[in-house]
């Protein structure tokens, strides 16, 4: 198996690169500067040069609030780019693995979303990601789309790192407690994508759309409490968190109240399930502080 990973400088892309290095999997990692997925000729050249057995798209426009003001850029990167990746990979007979989002749903379902639930994005980001999914399905049969949620890890920017930064400087702050989802560690997601990639090259691929997210549910408030509790051993700081409502924390983009994804199908087809998010959160915080100690 040889992977071509696009969006290699993002939090997922970097985790994929690190995991492939540990596993000794041949991988061509390309950042936005090396391959812009909104440029068809760059995509075609990247695929021709790397000659991969699978293309993995970890590139995306992920600024959920800014997307409300940059709809055409979000559409370009999250829909037109994946459409071009689908075309270029299909032209060469190479499978495509693509990552999508819980924000394709409106959050009105009372239980966790399954793959066949109707999509109904609330904002520009979700609309652009949903359009990207649809484009891939119509262009490239040999695709695996993996919807995930609330992604965090040791690389890049994410909610966990924002909470650590706040804990370093503030006595307390409010966190939204009426939106629930499944915090998903990049380590689990990267493992899931590699397993799916291995299946595509093994000849017994299971094309289609899947959900893969962290095990167990949380509100942003519960997630923040676990992050803050995990950092106490390293900083001695014990800030106080206050549960607030979505209305008390207005944002430009509307977000689903229920973002929970049911990952059972992925587990039954690919045999991989994420670890409980609390376990992963503690280990990510530990790794971040261990890295900081080494760098100090
Ligand atoms: N983050 C979440 O909470 C979340 C939740 C659900 C689903 N997802 C999905 O998970 C996937 C991975 O997200 P992530 O959290 O790793 O995102 P991320 O950290 O924002 O990384 C995205 C990467 O895409 C790159 N990129 C942007 N435009 C590009 C272009 N035109 N061509 C090539 N690369 C481009 C960015 O480049 P620069 O580094 O140069 O900016 C960045 O490195 C995405 O599909 C995202 O929609 C994320």
pTM exceeds 0.75, yes or no: yes
Nearest-5° Cα angle at 243, 275 to 287: 35
Q: How far is the CA of 171 from the centre of ligand 1 (A)?
A: 31
Could you tell me the residue ranges of all domains in the chain?
A: 2-157+183-215+259-275
- For residue range 114-153, what is the model confidence (pLDDT) as tens digits? 999 999 999 999 999 999 999 999 999 999 999 999 999 9
Active site (catalytic) residues: 125
pLDDT confidence band for 201 (50 / 70 / 90): confident
Q: How far is the CA of 6 from the centre of ligand 1 (A)?
A: 9
Of 196, 186, 214, 190, nearest in space to 270 by CA = 196
Q: What is the 3-state secondary structure (H, E, C) of the chain?
A: CEEEEECCCCHHHHHHHHHHHHHCCEEEEECCCCCCCCCHHHHHHHHHHHCCCEEEECCCCCCCCHHHCCHHHHHHHHHHHHHHHHHHHHHCCCCEEEEEEHHHCCCCCCCCECCCCCCCCCCHHHHHHHHHHHHHHHHCCCEEEEEECCEECCCCCCHHHHHHHHHHHCCEEEEECCCEECCEEHHHHHHHHHHHHHHHHHCCCCCEEEECCCECCEEHHHHHHHHHHHHHHHHCCCCEEEEECHHHCCCCCCCCCECCECCHHHHHHHCCCCCEHHHHHHHHHHHHHHHHHHHC
Q: 163: which 2 tokens?
A: 């909470």
Q: How far is the CA of 103 from the centre of ligand 1 (A)?
A: 14
Q: Provide the Cα torsion 251, 253, 257, 258; round to 10°.
A: -140
Instruction: Report the residue among 4, 10, 123 best suited for mutation to probe ligand 1: largest number of ligand atoms under 8 A from its CB.
Output: 10
Q: In the prediction, which pLDDT does 164 show?
A: 97
- For residue range 74-109, what is the model confidence (pLDDT) as tens digits? 999 999 999 999 999 999 999 999 999 999 999 999
CA distance 85 to 292: 37
Which residue reads 């689903």 in tokens?
Answer: 256
- For residue range 244-263, what is the model confidence (pLDDT) as tens digits? 999 999 999 999 999 999 99
Q: 183: which 2 tokens?
A: 């915090």
Residues with CB under 6 A from ligand 1: 6-7, 9-13, 32, 36-38, 58-62, 77, 81, 99, 101-102, 129, 148-151, 156
CATH architecture of 2-157+183-215+259-275: 3-Layer(aba) Sandwich (3.40)
Of 155, 177, 178, 181, nearest in space to 101 by CA = 181
């Amino acid at each position: 198996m040889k992977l071509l990973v696009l969006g290699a400088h993002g939090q997922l892309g970097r985790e994929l690169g690190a995991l492939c290095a540990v596993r000794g999997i041949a991988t061509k990692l390309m950042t936005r500067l090396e391959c812009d997925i909104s440029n068809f000729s760059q995509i075609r050249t990247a695929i021709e040069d790397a000659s991969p057995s699978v293309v993995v798209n970890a590139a995306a426009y992920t600024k959920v609030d800014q997307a409300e003001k940059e709809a055409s850029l979000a559409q370009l990167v999250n829909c037109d780019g994946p459409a071009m990746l689908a075309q270029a990979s299909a032209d060469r007979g190479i499978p495509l693995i693509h990552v999508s989002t819980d924000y394709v749903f409106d959050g009105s379902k009372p239980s966790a979303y399954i793959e066949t639930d109707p999509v109904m994005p609330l904002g520009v980001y979700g609309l652009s990601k949903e359009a990207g999914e649809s484009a891939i399905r119509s262009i490239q049969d040999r695709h695996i789309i993996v919807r995930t949620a609330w992604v965090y890890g040791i690389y890049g920017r994410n909610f966990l790192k924002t909470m650590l930064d706040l804990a370093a400087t503030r006595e307390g702050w409010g966190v939204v407690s009426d939106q629930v989802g499944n915090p998903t560690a990049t380590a689990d997601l990267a493992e899931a994508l590699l397993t799916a990639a291995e299946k595509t090259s093994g000849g017994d691929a299971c094309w289609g759309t899947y959900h893969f997210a962290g095990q167990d549910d949380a509100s942003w408030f519960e997630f923040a409490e676990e992050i803050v509790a995990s950092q106490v051993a390293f900083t001695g700081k014990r800030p106080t968190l206050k549960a607030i409502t979505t209305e008390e924390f207005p944002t430009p983009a509307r977000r689903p109240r229920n973002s929970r994804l049911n990952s059972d199908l992925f587990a039954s087809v690919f045999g991989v399930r994420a670890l409980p998010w609390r376990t992963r959160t503690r280990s990510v915080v530990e790794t971040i502080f261990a890295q900081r100690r080494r760098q100090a």
